[in-house]
Amino acid sequence: MFNTSEQLPDSGTDLTHRLDTLGAFDPEAADRIRQALHGTTAPLKPALEPVDVQLRKAGTLGDPGIVILLGASGAEDLEMVFRRMPEHVRILLLESEPAAAADLFRACPLEELVQEGRLSLAIGMDEALVEKQFLSLVDLKRAPEVRVLEMRELSSDAANFYYSSLSRAKNTVHLNVFNLGTLVYRGPHWQYNTIQNLPQLIAHPGVARLEGLFAGKPAVIVGAGPSLNEALAYLPQAAGQAVIVSTGTALRPLRKAGLRPDLTVSVDASHLTARQFETCCDDLYLACSSLAYPPLLPKFRGLFSASMASNPISEWLNTVGESKGALTAAGTVTTSAIDLAIRMGCNPIICIGADLSFSDDGTTHVSNSMYHGSRLDPARLIRTPGNYQADVPTTEQFKCYIDLLENYIRSHPDIRFVNATTGGALIRGMELAHPSLLARLGGEPFDAYDAIARQHDGYEVGPMDAICSALRETVEQLLETMSKAHEAAMLCNQLIMMLKAPRPEDEAIARGYLETLRQIDRQLVENRTCSLFLDMSLWPISYRSGAQRAPHEEKYSESLLSNKRSRELYEQIAGAAKWTRHLLLNSIRQIEAGRTHAVPSEGELVPV
């Protein structure tokens, strides 16, 4: 075990020797850490649930056992994990930001843990690498017990990457990866946002309505890199010659310059995105996910929503009028905007402000954006090949985004990609051009904004009475679900009391209770629409129900533990049905009143 009270030697020679040791066992991890040693990361925030609490919930793992750590936190937390876990448990550390992994490498001897075979590393945003490292730990002849611990607060991008990677690995070997509650705690929040957004989502079309709308027409994708300061002067000349698609972060600079994009794209569900839209939006069209931050949607003239595979309410939404379609999320929203433009039939795709790097003085974004004036210390940034310089300053996270974008470009060989910029990082697969190219697009003029408006205004939602009737039926189903779940929880409580103080006559009574529970379970499963609206809020408790015993549960018999967890599950179902029903009623009232923005009422129930 390592001693976190002593700082490891940090000289170049010592680090080189340690990296050589790591490289003998994991050359890929050593290479990524070596490249990131001089990079920088934002200050790491602790996990929403303390690591020691997560460890208590994880309980004791059998043999074989695997613990997956999401994110590199402090050496003390890592040491705690290794001290708590038996030696037969193998630990896989996933870190999407190589610079954060490098910081941890400086603080503790990862190379020794890898050499001992107790630790495996998957560094960077590479799903194939995560799958490979996970499979290397799995003995397919013996189903392992798996736990997932969130070591620090995760960004939306990191959380989506980890969830996607783990799902891919799990599906590969058909394992039941328990205890993903540390990752899927976002489910209740996503469900809350989606139901709050229902009046907007029902009243407006999806991005599928835009497919093929601009076949063969150019698109200009506007990112928010520092080079946009120069490119903005040329953008008005592309009006009428191309479809102008702005990312959310670039919107404020565009509006400050007096420019109106044809379409704006945002894929993040976080409330932090609100600052991107602190500008006039009432003449704009937004393409966004169905779980977007609710106060944003009514700011726009029109909306094109998109479903997500992880959002089961999307399945219901696709039965209301036309199918909504999907938005791709791949690190940077620029990739999402590019993908939408390609779905609209655009070719070529011209990017401005897609720097994925910083100015030499560390300036991170274009002026007048939500990051106006933000700078990073150039001495703590890494370097990546540039467009007009041998290399430019960036972060490991942006390097991951470059890789993802380059992979996306390679998957579309029939599309011409152009990077019209005066700076920025080299993005392979993109032709390089000066932003003045925007004045020389040529072709027949067209009005993209008007075409998008006509597609939006031509949308006909299904009969609102029928939609509200279907939603009210779901409300009644939720009430029934709440009642049945309460009944089931009470039956489980009765069984628990019997198990604690059994009597001879209890056996027949218990059989009756168990049969009633089986009937309730069948009824809950058969209530399909209700399940769609509840599913995300139950992700955490579903994984909790399959977790290994916590220390305080060691004293329970299998029957007692099973009934206690069943009672907890039914209680959570009842609670989720209650607040979901309340939100759904609020959305129905908004729809019936002809309004498309649901504002929570005072004292409204919200998921915790």
- What is the pLDDT, as a whole number, of residue 5? 40
pLDDT of residue 603: 39
Q: Is the pLDDT of residue 291 over 80?
A: yes
Convert the pLDDT of each residue in 205-237 to its tens digit: 999 999 999 999 999 999 999 999 999 999 999
The pLDDT score that the predictor gives to residue 528 is 77
**Residue 2 pLDDT > 80, yes or no?**
no
181 pLDDT band, cuts 50/70/90, is very low
pLDDT score for 600: 44
Average pLDDT over residues 114-118: 88
In angstroms, the CA 146 to CA 78 distance is: 17
> What pLDDT does 10 receive?
56
HSE, side-chain direction, 13 A CA sphere, residue 167: 10
Would you state the pLDDT for residue 177? 40
Split at pLDDT 50, 70, 90, the class of 604 is very low
Residue 6 confidence (pLDDT): 45
553/172: higher pLDDT: 553
Phi, psi of 376 (to 5 degrees): -115, 155
Average pLDDT over residues 465-476: 92
For the chain, the straight-line distance linking the first and the last C-alpha, in angstroms and rounded, comes to 37
pLDDT of residue 39: 65
Residues in CB range of 569: below 8 A, 6 or more apart: 541, 542, 545
Cα 482 from Cα 476, distance rounded (Å) = 10
Band of pLDDT at residue 302, cut at 50, 70 and 90: very high
Least confident interval from 66-75, 352-361, 533-542, 545-554: 545-554
* pLDDT at site 608: 28
| pLDDT value for 88 | 84
pLDDT at 605 over 50: no
* Digit-coded pLDDT (tens) for 31-45: 999 988 876 655 667
pLDDT at 260 over 90: yes
Distance CA 219, CA 351 (A): 8
CA 508 to chain centre: 49
The b/e string for 502-537 (b: 16+ C-beta within 10 A; e otherwise) is eeeebeeebeebeeebeebeeebeebebbebbbbbb
What 3 state SS string does 189-220 have?
A: HHHHHHHHHHHHHHHCCEHHHHCCCCCCCCEE
How confident is residue 309, by pLDDT bands cut at 50, 70 and 90?
low
Angle between helix axes 12-25 and 98-107 (nearest 10 degrees) is 110
Alpha-helix residue ranges (DSSP H) falling in 117-247: 127-137, 156-173, 181-184, 186-203, 228-231
Residue 171, pLDDT score: 57
* The CATH number of domain 12-184 is 3.40.50: yes
Of 47-61, 363-377, 448-462, highest mean pLDDT: 448-462
CA 401 to CA 405: how far, in whole Å? 6
The answer on pLDDT for 84 being more than 90 is: no
pTM here is 0.67
- Looking at residue 500, what is its pLDDT? 86
Question: What is the per-residue pLDDT for 401?
Answer: 84
Q: Where are the domains of the chain?
A: 12-184, 205-457, 462-541+556-592
Summarize the confidence of residues 126-142 as an average pLDDT: 74
Can you give the pLDDT at residue 595?
55
pLDDT, tens only, 149-162: 888 888 777 877 88
Mean per-residue pLDDT of the chain: 84
Residue 452 and residue 245 in contact, taking contact as beta carbons nearer than 8 Å: no
Kindly tell me if the per-residue pLDDT of 137 is higher than 50. yes
Output the pLDDT for position 13: 66
Tell me which residue has tokens 């990191």: 158
Q: How many helices (H) and strands (E) does the chain have?
A: 21, 14
| Helix, strand, coil share of the chain (percent; to 5) | 50, 15, 35
Q: How confident is the model over 312-331, as pLDDT tens digits?
A: 888 888 888 788 998 877 66
pLDDT of the residue at 36? 87
| Residue among 403, 426, 269, 271 nearest 330 (CA) | 403
**Taking residues 424-451, what's their average pLDDT?**
91
pLDDT at 4: 42
pLDDT of residue 606: 35
**Mean pLDDT for the stretch of residues 598-604:** 42
Residue type at 137 in one-letter notation: L
pLDDT score, position 93: 93
